[in-house]
A and B are shown apart, each in its own frame.
Chain A
Amino acid sequence: MQGILSYLILLLITAFLAPVIINRAGKAASWLLGSVSVAGFFYLLRFAAATARGNTLSMTLEWLPQLHLNFTLYLDGLSLFFALLVTGMGAMVLVFAGKYMQPYPQKDRFFLLILLFEFAMLALVLSGNLFTLFIFWELTSVSSFLLVGFSHEKPEARNAALQALLITVAGGLAMMAGFIMLGQIAGTLEINELLKSGELVRSHPHYSPALILILAGAFTKSAQFPFHFWLPGAMQAPSPVSAYLHSATMVKAGIYLLMRLSPVMGGTPEWKYILTITGAITMILGGYFAYSQTDFKKVLAYTTISALGILVLMLGIDTNISIKAAVIFMLVHALYKGALFMIAGLIDKSAGTRDLRKLGGLFHVMPEASVAAVISLLSMAGLPPMIGFIGKELIYEAKIGLPEIGNWLMVAGVLTNVIMVAISFALIFHLFGGKLRYAGRVPTRPAFALWIGPAILAGTSLLIGLFPSRVANLLLRPAITFIRPSIDTLSLALWHGFNEVLLMSLATIGAGITLYLLYRKVNPVLTNFNNEVITFRFANAFNRTMDLFLKLTKKKTSLIQSGYQRYYLMAIFIMTSVLAWYQIFYTWQGNGINTGPVPAIFELLIAALIVSAAVVAVAVKSRVLAILSMGAAGYGIGMLFLIYGAIDVAITMLLAETLVLVLFMVVVFHLPKFTNFSGRGSRIRDAVIAIFTGSFMTGLVLKAGQMDPAGRVSAFYTENALPLAHGKNVVNVILVDFRALDTLGEITVLVIAAIGVAALLKLKSKKGSAA
């Protein structure tokens, strides 16, 4: 297992070295990078014998064991199956991309991203801990985002990338919540321990919510209805990306997760119904839209959606035969779809278009690629002797064995396959057969590096179809056994005998050929129908929802962040007063208020002076009068200080007040007269807020009166003023001796204020302003 970890690290290092290699090594670079994947493929293949015997390998690096967070690698038949798929497809795609990406600027970056994806995807399928899995799951979403948006100068590519990211990441978040719940239920996040606690999980009351959350992750990643629409959009990515991420591997991550968790969470009615219905809808929808497209790549995208639907459906049916069908179809689909996407890219490169209506007879230009394409398409159609035939037969068999809704599924399944046959034939005969047709420039013969990958994949489709048993025993059966331990044999053969399934296959092919013959006539009609009648587009609806969301948040923000200072102040005053009033009431002590002695007559007069000054300052229209009454209030307070034995304070207060008055007067004469900015309503509102805040301050003072005013700190100053500081005036001693540093800080503040004032007054107004 250390070896596998080392390989993962090697892959990561290779990813970051890729830009250097691409820029330095020239043409050999992609072969060099591809060989790293090939090495990984064969290295992993060595474990096949062990996993075939039912052995598992795992390795744990402790990370945060207190939270069950470990970095765990885990290898069994199922992970090995996917790991081989990732590395094998990776090698083909890298070689293909080396040639395909040549004219692109920033192709060095492309290789970094695609290798980073390969690393993340491989680590995902080898993860032995749900959180390790989650991290790599998100990493694949991020690399997919960057790859879809690779042609970032195109707005459609950016939009598609963002859409794919938002959908898969939203699903990923839901999935994380589901993982947490699952971890709570089972008490572990380690996959090999989870596999043993299936009973416990399925009978737990939180099973259903956990399942739904996890399914949200799997369905968004694997483009199930109603989240399917990001996948056709993701076709904005360069062809190697479509071949690798969006058909063979990343979109299968959801399927992998379902397979992985099937022994833990599968088999319940919820599981069966949700998976079956979602899968069936996705399957038939994908088939229909594939049939009505005109862009080769779009056709492939929708057939991919359909295939993903079939996989989910098979897992939902959840019988021995359907699990077998799912695993085999996984392989079938990866082989033919990977090849076809690369061929779509190759045609685009050679003929300058992928429009099926404009092209034809490409066999004459690209014989090797055409043969590979035909084999792959036959596999897609489910015709013998390709492995696709075996896959399809198993799928039919799985559906036949079903009670209840089995009939409907059968109809839907046959219909989908009929469409697949029709599309395959249409592509074979219209695109590759017949006379050479092209739009614009003459198609050129594609380079070796472009067709070798598809050729190898197509050859594999054919070889496994002819000799299925070896692969079945080495790779497929172990994978199946880990999904469903009760299955210990798997015999695959092209010839199943003459039975119901074969009859249905024959009927499918017959109907498919009929539909193919109608293709040229029906396709334009359907394309129009889709464009004209089905005006609802999931992708557009999604965009509109996002726009609406942005508008709402903008409104919300402008509501909270008004940009007007008084509204911020208002919010502060109201909140503070409400909370403080609550606190005053809550902690009010029953022993009444310290009302103090009855005020003397001159005290009453001073109080009256202050209050009337405040009222005048608020109400008066004249600026001078308002400032003067502010000063009057200040002098009144100064007199109160005098009465209550604070002589120093009183002197300072009177001096400061006088200075402020003078300054204010000087400045205010440069300003215009008061204007009435606010209306009656807002004045009443402000008055209410003001009275509410003021009354809270009154309450606060009364509350303070309940406390014991004799401070212990003061006693210390009084006792030590003379012996320690050699001063008699205790207030002065506190300021200049005991708290001298504070006073220094105060002086600093004054200095800063003075500098600020000087700067503001000397500042020259900019040209054009109203100065």
Chain B
Amino acid sequence: METLLAIVIGILYAAGVYLLLRRSIVKLILGILFFSHATNLLILVAGGLVKAQPQFAGDASLTINSTDPLPQALILTAIVIGFGITAFALALMYRFYKSTGTEDLDELKEGEHK
């Protein structure tokens, strides 16, 4: 399963990179989202995969075969931050289109010379 997930992560990153390299700002944001998906999964896998109950303290029967709480805490933070970034990027995209009339990122370069 680890190998399989490693490949899935690789594909998600590849999709993210490909989308980030597009000129369309919509695709760029999609790329960012794929990046954050892949990263969340990466943290989970890197923390060790245990198919088990969630971690509850004080429950002696569960402590032996339970998941690592730390990566989960990290992913939670990452998801929330990622959501914030996405919301901001979407607003930026909207404003970009409203100001330039295009979704082509290359227009930004021309814009700076004007």
**A644 and B106 contact, Cβ closer than 8 Å, known pairs A596-B3, A702-B3:** no
User: A565 CA to B104 CA in the complex, in Å?
Assistant: 11
Partner of A656, one of B17, B56, B69, B82: B82
By a CB distance below 8 angstroms, the chain B residues around A599 are 1, 4
Beta-carbon contact of A735 and B57 below 8 Å: no
Residue of B nearest to A604 (CB): B4
With contacts defined as CB atoms under 8 Å apart, how many contacts are there between chain A and chain B in the complex? Answer: 307
Beta-carbon contact of A727 and B57 below 8 Å: yes
Beta-carbon contact of B24 and A597 below 8 Å: no
Contact with B along A698-728 (1 / 0, CB 8 A): 1011101100011101100111011000011
Partner of B91, one of A615, A690, A760: A760
Beta-carbon contact of B76 and A645 below 8 Å: no
Say how far B95's CB is from chain A's closest CB, in angstroms: 4
Contact with A along B71-95 (1 / 0, CB 8 A): 0110111011111111110111111
Residue of A nearest to B110 (CB): A563
User: A753 CA to B54 CA in the complex, in Å?
Assistant: 31
Among A716-767, those with CB < 8 Å from B are: 717-719, 721-722, 727-731, 733-735, 739, 742-743, 746, 749-750, 752-754, 756-757, 760-761, 763, 765-766
User: A648 CA to B109 CA in the complex, in Å?
Assistant: 43
Say how far B6's CB is from chain A's closest CB, in angstroms: 4
Beta-carbon contact of B76 and A731 below 8 Å: yes
Partner of A675, one of B13, B18, B76, B103: B103
Q: Is A512 an interface residue (CB 8 A)?
A: no
Among A608-639, those with CB < 8 Å from B are: 610-611, 614-615, 617-618, 623, 626-627, 630, 633-634, 637
User: A698 CA to B6 CA in the complex, in Å?
Assistant: 5
Beta-carbon contact of A694 and B84 below 8 Å: no
User: A375 CA to B57 CA in the complex, in Å?
Assistant: 107
Beta-carbon contact of A597 and B18 below 8 Å: no
Beta-carbon contact of A761 and B94 below 8 Å: yes
By a CB distance below 8 angstroms, the chain A residues around B34 are 614, 617, 630, 633
Beta-carbon contact of B26 and A623 below 8 Å: yes
Q: Is A598 an interface residue (CB 8 A)?
A: yes
Say how far A674's CB is from chain B's closest CB, in angstroms: 6
Beta-carbon contact of B30 and A617 below 8 Å: yes
By a CB distance below 8 angstroms, the chain B residues around A761 are 91, 94-95
**A743 and B77 contact, Cβ closer than 8 Å, known pairs A566-B22, A598-B1, A671-B93:** yes
Q: Is A407 an interface residue (CB 8 A)?
A: no
Beta-carbon contact of B26 and A731 below 8 Å: no
Q: Is A770 an interface residue (CB 8 A)?
A: yes
Partner of B88, one of A743, A753, A766: A753
**A677 and B86 contact, Cβ closer than 8 Å, known pairs A698-B9, A702-B3:** no
Among A264-292, those with CB < 8 Å from B are: none
Beta-carbon contact of A687 and B54 below 8 Å: no
> What residues make up the interface of B, taking CB atoms closer than 8 Å to A?
1-24, 26-27, 29-30, 33-34, 37-38, 40-42, 44-59, 63, 66-70, 72-73, 75-77, 79-88, 90-95, 97-106, 108-109, 112
**16 pairs from A and B in contact (CB 8 Å cutoff):** A597-B1, A599-B4, A653-B40, A656-B82, A667-B90, A675-B103, A686-B21, A690-B14, A694-B11, A694-B14, A697-B13, A701-B45, A714-B69, A734-B70, A749-B81, A756-B91
The list of the 3 closest CB pairs from A to B, nearest first, reads: A709-B48, A694-B14, A770-B101
> What residues make up the interface of A, taking CB atoms closer than 8 Å to B?
562-566, 569-570, 573, 593-599, 603-604, 607, 610-611, 614-615, 617-618, 623, 626-627, 630, 633-634, 637, 640-641, 643-649, 652-653, 656, 659-660, 663-664, 667-668, 670-672, 674-675, 677-678, 686-687, 689-691, 693-695, 697-698, 700-702, 704-705, 709-711, 713-714, 717-719, 721-722, 727-731, 733-735, 739, 742-743, 746, 749-750, 752-754, 756-757, 760-761, 763, 765-766, 769-771
Q: A656-B82, A702-B3, A718-B57 are in contact. List 18 more A-B contacts (CB 8 A).
A: A573-B17, A595-B3, A618-B18, A633-B37, A645-B54, A648-B54, A656-B80, A675-B103, A690-B16, A694-B10, A695-B14, A702-B2, A709-B48, A718-B55, A728-B59, A731-B76, A750-B84, A769-B100
